[in-house]
Amino acid sequence: MNAEIETTKKGIADTRIRKENLRMFLSALKGTDSLLTKFDTALWHRLVDYVTVTPEETLVFHMRDGSEMTVSLEEVH
């Protein structure tokens, strides 16, 4: 029973984090003047803190909100 409670608490915490990340992203998008049709340097700087390139040929995007997104270079090609 305790394991189920902990799993549920973790799920709730993860959902709250995703909600806050989405809120921050939408807030950043609202700061743009128009629909994004090309790379927006200002938006990039508002969202991304830094990017790590790993020996396994992946990119780890470290977002300003503390979240991370990993993309394999194979996915890009």
* Contact between 61 and 75 (Cβ < 8 Å): no
1 band by pLDDT with thresholds 50, 70 and 90:
confident
Q: What's the distance, CA 54 to chain centroid?
A: 18
Rounded CA-CA distance 67/76 in Å is 21
Summarised one tens digit per residue, pLDDT across range 11-63 is 898 888 878 877 877 777 777 667 778 888 888 888 889 999 999 989 999 98
Tokens of 54: 């790993």
- Confidence check: pLDDT of 76 > 70: no
Looking at residue 77, its pLDDT comes to 59
Ranges of each domain in the chain: 2-76
Q: Which one is predicted more confidently, 76 or 26?
A: 26
